[in-house]
Structure 1
């Protein structure tokens, strides 16, 4: 048995807006999409993420999938494959670029927050995603979760109207080969939970590919690297 935070929905109304609280359900894995962040695998995780074995799903010639179990730093790309529906394989080049911890006071001004939702911690995740497969993934959700401090996978929240601080949206209506989006995803971690990693884990059996790094505040300068690979602070605008 394990837990999964269901996708929450933020629904505005009248002059203000309401944040619908997230739901935590307990259930066994299966077609309902329930997920636990823990996994066991005989594969050896790869820091570089390069694959040396047969792809776990059929991908176009020339596409090299990142090994399952890879642990990556923010800014490092991964090439992943998944089945968003039967007989369809999506192949994406994903680069998680930043993880941000925010507050309802700072980022949700004008939203009506109920008591249950106030017990969550809000986070923003930025990623660049390119379709390197043959399937049109238009309208599909970006297949990334966060992992909280209790080893639970949490889905991104979705909005029925524009959320300017972090426009958390699915892929565009048409998202075919070669198309790229810069995504911002909103997550609500229950019980004032943490964000310990961003995870690509399309099925229970998949050994997740994860990104970890420093949590920043929205709008903060991101550290840059000089030619020698040392971090330096970006200039303030």
Structure 2
């Protein structure tokens, strides 16, 4: 799919199941200095951060309050996975909130995942690999 195009997908988080519309809205290159507060050490050496921004809209009849959609990965030009950084707590450059209370049909939220790419390449796509999909066989945006 093209970046900006929404896909309607089944969604599950624990015992909560519903339907959402998911669109990767942009992939933005950051500055390696952005990673300093994360204290990644050697994992960040020679890497450039990319912010994979996406919008989730509840399109089903289930209240998805407090769930979160985290199964989005950055992809390199050859289709392989970019390095992932699991964000815990807040990181202003890449907000990744849980769905708010009252996340019912028609409600939307924007979120972000952090991907790292070696300086010689870049993150050019993204994949949603949550259930019922699997990594490498999910919904892709480029």
TM-score of the superposed pair, with normalisation by structure 2: 0.74
Q: Pick from 98, 104, 123: which aligns with 2:50? A: 123
CA distance in 1 between partners of 2:116 and 2:67 (Å): 22
What SS class does the counterpart of residue 43 from structure 2 fall into?
helix
After superposition, the C-alpha distances for 1:85-107 in whole angstroms (9 at most, x for unaligned) are 35x422111121111121222x3
The answer to whether the 8 A contact 1:166-1:184 is kept is: yes
Which has more radius of gyration?
1
CA distance in 2 between partners of 1:89 and 1:199 (Å): 20
Cross-structure match for 1:20: none
Structure 2, unpaired ranges of 5+: none
CA distance in 1 between partners of 2:49 and 2:9 (Å): 26
After superposition, the C-alpha distances for 1:1-48 in whole angstroms (9 at most, x for unaligned) are xxxxxxxxxxxxxxxxxxxxxxxxxxxxxxxxxxxxxxxxxxxxxxxx
Cross-structure match for 1:210: 140
Cross-structure match for 1:141: 69
Q: For 1:79-158, what aligned pairs fall within 5 Å after superposition?
A: 79-86=8-15, 88-105=16-33, 107-108=34-35, 110-137=37-64, 138-148=66-76, 149=78, 151-152=80-81, 155=84, 157-158=86-87
Which structure 1 residue ranges, 4+ long, deviate > 4 Å from structure 2?
153-156
What SS class does the counterpart of residue 96 from structure 2 fall into?
coil
Deviation of 1:171 after TM superposition, in Å, equals 2.5
After superposition, the C-alpha distances for 1:161-202 in whole angstroms (9 at most, x for unaligned) are x3222213333355232221122322234x556423111222
CA distance in 2 between partners of 1:118 and 1:108 (Å): 10
- Structure with bigger strand share is 2
Cross-structure match for 2:98: 170
- Structure with bigger helix share is 2
The answer to whether the 8 A contact 2:53-2:113 is kept is: yes
What SS class does the counterpart of residue 44 from structure 2 fall into?
helix
CA distance in 1 between partners of 2:128 and 2:45 (Å): 27
- Quick one: higher RCO (CA 8 Å, sep 6+), 1 or 2? 2
RMSD (Å) for aligned C-alpha atoms: 2.9
